[in-house]
Amino acid sequence: MVISVTARDDEVRYASSLLVRHRKGDSIYHQGDAACRWFEVVSGIVRTCRFMADGHRQLTGFFYAGDVFGVEADLYSEAAEAVTDVVLHSSPLIRPGDPNRTDSPRALEKALQCARRSIFLFGHRTAANRVAAFLITMAERSGIQAGVQLPMTRSDIADHLNLTLHTVSRTISDFARNGLIALHGRQNFRILDLEGLRVVAGEGPEQESPASRTEARKLASRE
């Protein structure tokens, strides 16, 4: 069942369930829109972002197949955009005349899981910590070790990790120089040394000795 998202009438708006397609770069909903539907990613990748008063962008999450976004109470507090071409499964949050939410606990749990993942990333202190943790997460989510895709731009990654795109770029280049990963083009990499990457992320076996932290820093430092 595929219904164009341009339809506006309530019949479609409140259809219990529909599939929606969006092209890369499209906006799915805007920050401040009335929150009437929630989404589950069928294929492709979505990003949610919030625009701050000073003009800078915070990227609150990336959503892959199976992930849930748009579960909000009143207004969407963040925008959702398609990172790649996407297919979404969309359901109403509230039906007309029915004050009960129709989002299942399962959807909420998934949304919570995604939120926790974002919080976890921010627990890492340095740029190397955060980028390493991000790359590991990407590899785990894609399920493959070789040929992991990074479909988002460096700028997206930067706004997600609260760094600048320069720092992200430098750090990724350093990882490649130090043999932790191998880059194949801009948006494709392979992890060469998962243990080393975990140590740089601050999640490694880490003997708790001050020496090992110095070690991790050396690995992550340029040259």
Partner DNA sequence: CGAGACTTTGAGAGCAGTCAAATCCTGTGG
Partner DNA sequence: CCACAGGATTTGACTGCTCTCAAAGTCTCG
Residue ranges in contact with a second copy by CB under 8 A: 50, 52-56, 58, 60, 71, 73, 77, 101, 103-105, 108-109, 111-113, 115-116, 118-120, 122-125, 162, 202-206, 208, 213
Could you give the CA distance from residue 11 to residue 180 in angstroms, rounded to a whole number?
53
CB of 43 to a second copy, least distance (A): 24
With respect to DNA, which residue has the nearer C-beta, 13 or 166?
166
With respect to a second copy, which residue has the nearer C-beta, 21 or 117?
117
Determine, following the binding rule CB under 7 A, whether residue 212 of this chain makes contact with DNA: no
Binding site partner of 112, from a second copy, DNA, none, Cβ cut-off 5-8 A by kind: a second copy
Beta carbons within 8 Å of 179's beta carbon, 6+ residues apart: 192, 193, 196
Determine, following the binding rule CB under 7 A, whether residue 172 of this chain makes contact with DNA: yes
Q: Which of residues 108-147 bind DNA (CB under 7 A)?
A: 125-128
With respect to DNA, which residue has the nearer C-beta, 187 or 207?
187
* Contact pick of 21, 57, 117, 170 for DNA (by CB under 7 A): 170
With respect to a second copy, which residue has the nearer C-beta, 84 or 118?
118
**Strand extents, DSSP E, the chain:** 18-22, 27-29, 37-43, 46-51, 57-63, 68-69, 79-82, 86-92, 94-95, 98-101, 148-149, 181-183, 188-191
Question: Contact, 71 vs 105, CB < 8 A?
Answer: no
The one-character DSSP state at 75 is B
Beta carbons within 8 Å of 194's beta carbon, 6+ residues apart: 136, 145
Determine, following the binding rule CB under 7 A, whether residue 166 of this chain makes contact with DNA: yes
- The partner residues of 79 in beta bridges, in order of sequence, read 49
Determine, following the binding rule CB under 7 A, whether residue 27 of this chain makes contact with DNA: no
Question: Contact, 63 vs 41, CB < 8 A?
Answer: yes
CB of 98 to a second copy, least distance (A): 14
With respect to DNA, which residue has the nearer C-beta, 30 or 186?
186
Could you give the CA distance from residue 31 to residue 51 in angstroms, rounded to a whole number?
8
CB of 130 to a second copy, least distance (A): 10
**Dihedral sign (CA 134, 119, 160, 24):** positive
With respect to DNA, which residue has the nearer C-beta, 38 or 62?
62
Binding site for DNA (CB under 7 A): 125-128, 153-155, 162-170, 172-173, 183, 185-187, 217, 221
